[in-house]
Amino acid sequence: MPLSIPTSCQQRGRAKNCQAEIIIYYNDRTYVVKFSRSPVSHYYRSLHIIPNSVLSYTTEYSCSDNDNCAIDFASKKVLDLSNRTYNIASVTDHLSNLLLEHRPPSDPELRCYNNEECVKGVCQTLYNIRTSTMRGKGCLKNTTAQVLVLDGSFDPSLSIVCNRTRCNSPETYNKVKEILFRHNLTDINGRLNGGQKSCVSAFLLIVTLHLFVFLCNGFFF
């Protein structure tokens, strides 16, 4: 679906770099586009999955090539991302079985991979894809099971949050990595795919006006 900027959102201003952020929510087929300004040029992408809830892809791009570089990028990227298809149910089902476990209130204690006791929390780990190293293998409070892949102008990483016993292990990482690759979300190294090599058919995003948000006050050029 092509990007269409509402006539009510035509504010312009000066900035060192123009920025566009596109978030595609594949779970409910909506997207959000935000325009703003940035002090530096950059490009990053992220994949965020909350099992049985959310599968979203975010890309943020900052540029100074010309006055319309952010708009040009957003137009092409919205079309590219909206044409991708994923088996959402399969992805979330596989991740749910791997990362989630029903824990009754009477048994709130969880034991993470490093044998740390985690009371009323979840286990988490962060894997640096470039250096193949893991860190942060411990207990995390006030969050839910999820997977986050970061890629772009920094070290690519895969973050895993889960609530099964010792679920933040290297074995879990390898299984999550395999699930994402098998569903065409990442390449074999765990990096986010630039596009889909085997897409059967494109789907149209159902865009509701109140979800298709342009932050006019932050739309600077």
Query: Tens of pLDDT along 115-133?
Result: 888 888 899 999 999 888 9
Residue pointed to by tokens 């979300």: 185
For Cα atoms 112, 117, 123, give the angle at the middle one, nearest 5 degrees.
35
Structure-derived torsion over alpha carbons of residues 211, 162, 139, 105, reported in degrees to the nearest 10? 90
- Between the alpha carbon of residue 134 and those of residues 37, 59, 67, the distances in Å are 34, 25, 41
Domain 88-182: CATH architecture, name and number where available = Ribbon (2.10)
Please report which confidence band the pLDDT of residue 7 belongs to, taking 50, 70 and 90 as the band edges.
low
CB 3 within 8 A of CB 20: no
The domain ranges of the chain are 17-85+199-218, 88-182
> pLDDT value at position 196?
46
In 3D, which of 131, 140, 205 has the Cα closest to residue 167? Answer: 140
Side chain identity, residue 178: E
> Residue 15, SS3?
coil
pLDDT tens readout for residues 49-105: 998 889 999 999 998 888 888 889 999 999 999 889 899 999 999 999 999 988 776
For residues 191-200, average pLDDT: 58
Tokens representing residue 112 in the block: 């993470």
